[in-house]
Structure 1
């Protein structure tokens, strides 16, 4: 694995086999008290991990859990693939006010990484939540249109159907008393349905091979259509696990689940399944929201896991609360 970091805010790049992975951060801030996001945890658990959780992942002064909204950009076999698209600009999120009507320079950050919207070939939404599909679309002349006009958008059919309000599926996840249905209000209509109506959505099932290096595998639990993107190239491996992990604390306590999941038991099983694979194969684990180094290689540690080494991404020096 080699590193090529360049000084453009949060943009940095590593290579995994023949695949180049670039990190582009859209937004980051404290989210909520850690015990609210992870209700099975206690203050003492976070305090015990303070040495390696602070300051990037957890603020010991406020007790808040920190998160990035970021996109992983993969260049593989001559194509450009985006993994998750963040919150997006101009979105109406009445019950998630920090994400409502954002005006970030995310597209300029993509340009700093050498990517124009027209260059993107594939968009992978690891699952359908408002902070993973936002830049699927942009507002143009009062209409939501695909941000990446030539891209195929890979969305698991189970999530497409689950979040389609026409189907009326009940939602179990919540945060601070705000249900997943309210927290994701308008999301399907402004960030998912438009790419389907433009004929750019591929609703996949089973598993989906993108190319010789990349395969999507289902990992239902956090949402019914949650997925993991697996990378294997020249003997090197990575797992882009979406929201199977939100904090490094879950490496050491893999049964710790967030309040945001639709099926907590299934989400926990999937986290253990992919952490076991990562430990056995040396794969780097890329959670969607991890600040600081962004990804980690893990090893088994009894019935849990420990960090063997961090990925060589350049951490932010201070949080940016837009």
Structure 2
């Protein structure tokens, strides 16, 4: 899928799509609760109340930059907490190339946060070693986010993610640590949206009087717009996560801003009583 925002082109490259099997991440999103939100159907949920989600990257092309935002799960990775995320073998890079984005054409990789499903294609396995997938790119990580996971040792699966998908690009001298209000170029900046992870950021795109937001995992699914208190089981700080949702949704609600989630596709945020709903962009 592809969208235009002024002089910026945004292309979504999908690695994996799922229907259902999401209660492990959003336990409050029962099928009964989802069926009470009919605006989710059919774009974001099935008639039965099962959530539709995806793992994807965005390629953001400005007049001067070609940026990949978040890099999915990756291939050949081990030690993941979810069995089907281990030892994957998918044609994700071939899909990117077919869309016109060979890895060597990317000049920037920006990660909204450093969770397993957002950093996997930072690296690829070559002759037994993890090497940067995008050889000419600078990799931008939030400073707060990076330092938290660098020093984190509590769970082996998260340590494994850091060691195979983050540390190798640092060791290769490819990484720039950025603040939560960093501006990459004239059209692209980041805004702080902590809570899901300590240094989570979202990506603001502004060009030609138009605006888009890649919200990352400030919400995993649009159902969290109706229920701001529905938190992911892996949110670092649930109160902060809910507060970030309220702040972001309030800022962009009832505006023309195109919003694209880390696990859902494009639409517009609308106020709905004391909460919000999401209108899917009609293709």
The aligned residue for residue 183 of structure 2 is 209
Q: What CA distance in whole angstroms lies between the structure 2 residues aligned with 1:259 and 1:187?
A: 18
Which residue number corresponds to residue 319 of structure 1?
none
Q: SS state of the match for residue 196, structure 2? A: coil
Q: Are the aligned partners of 1:286 and 1:296 in contact in 2 as well (CA < 8 Å)?
A: yes
* Structure 1 residue 186 displacement after superposition: 0.8
TM superposition shift of 1:41: 4.3
SS at match of 1:276: helix
11, 14, 36: which is aligned to 2:3? Answer: 14
Aligned residues: 283
- The match for 1:298 among 250, 253, 269 is 269
- Structure 1 residues 201, 275: CA separation in 2 closer, same or farther (over 3 Å shift)? same
The CA deviation at 1:185 is 4.5
TM-aligned CA distance change 1:31 to 1:85, over 3 Å: farther
How far the C-alpha of 1:94 sits from its partner, in A, is 4.2
Residue of structure 2 equivalent to 1:37: 25
Is the 1:220–1:267 Cα contact (8 Å) retained in structure 2?
yes
Decide whether the 8 Å contact of 1:239 with 1:284 is kept in 2.
yes
CA distance in 1, matches of 2:31, 2:83: 27
Indicate the residue corresponding to 2:77 in structure 1: 91
**What are the within-5 Å matches in structure 2 for residues 74-85 of structure 1?**
74-85=60-71
1:166-205 per-position Cα deviation (integer Å, ceiling 9, x unaligned) = x2465xxxxxxxxxx3553410000000111111111112
1:65 correspondence with 2:39 = no
Give the alignment partner of residue 254 of structure 1, picking from 214, 225, 228: 228
Q: Does 1:141 align with 2:127?
A: yes
Query: How far 1:33 moved relative to its partner?
Result: 4.6
Residues 222 and 262, structure 1, Cα contact 8 Å, conserved in 2: yes
Corresponding residue number in structure 1 for 2:199: 225
TM-score between both structures, scaled by the size of structure 1:
0.82
Instruction: Compare the two structures and name the one with the higher strand fraction.
Output: 1
Is contact 1:93–1:101 with CA below 8 Å preserved after alignment? no
- Worse-matched range after superposition: 93-102 or 151-160: 93-102
Q: For the residues of structure 2 that align with 1:39 and 1:149, how far apart are their CA atoms?
A: 39
Unpaired runs of at least 5, structure 2: none
Shift of 1:42: 4.6
Q: Distance in 1 between matches of 2:236 and 2:6?
A: 35
Task: Give secondary structure in 1 for the equivalent of 2:84.
Answer: helix
| Alpha-carbon distance in 2 for matches of 1:66, 1:93 | 26
Say if 2:253 is the partner of 1:279.
Answer: yes
Of the three residues 144, 150, 159, the one matched with 1:158 is 144
Structure 1 regions of 5+ residues with no counterpart? 1-11, 171-180, 314-322
Distance in 2 (alpha carbons) for counterparts of 1:29 and 1:43: 15
The SS at the match of 1:148 is coil
Instruction: Write out per-residue CA displacement over residues 90-120 of structure 1, whole angstroms, 9 at most, x where no aligned residue.
Output: 0003421111111111111111211111100
Asked if the contact 1:26/1:70 (under 8 Å) is kept, the reply is yes
Q: Is the 8 A contact 2:34 2:50 kept in 1?
A: no
Deviation readout 1:207-227 (Å, 9 max, x if unpaired) = 111111110122111001100
For the residue of structure 1 that corresponds to 2:21, the secondary structure is strand
Shift of 1:38: 2.2
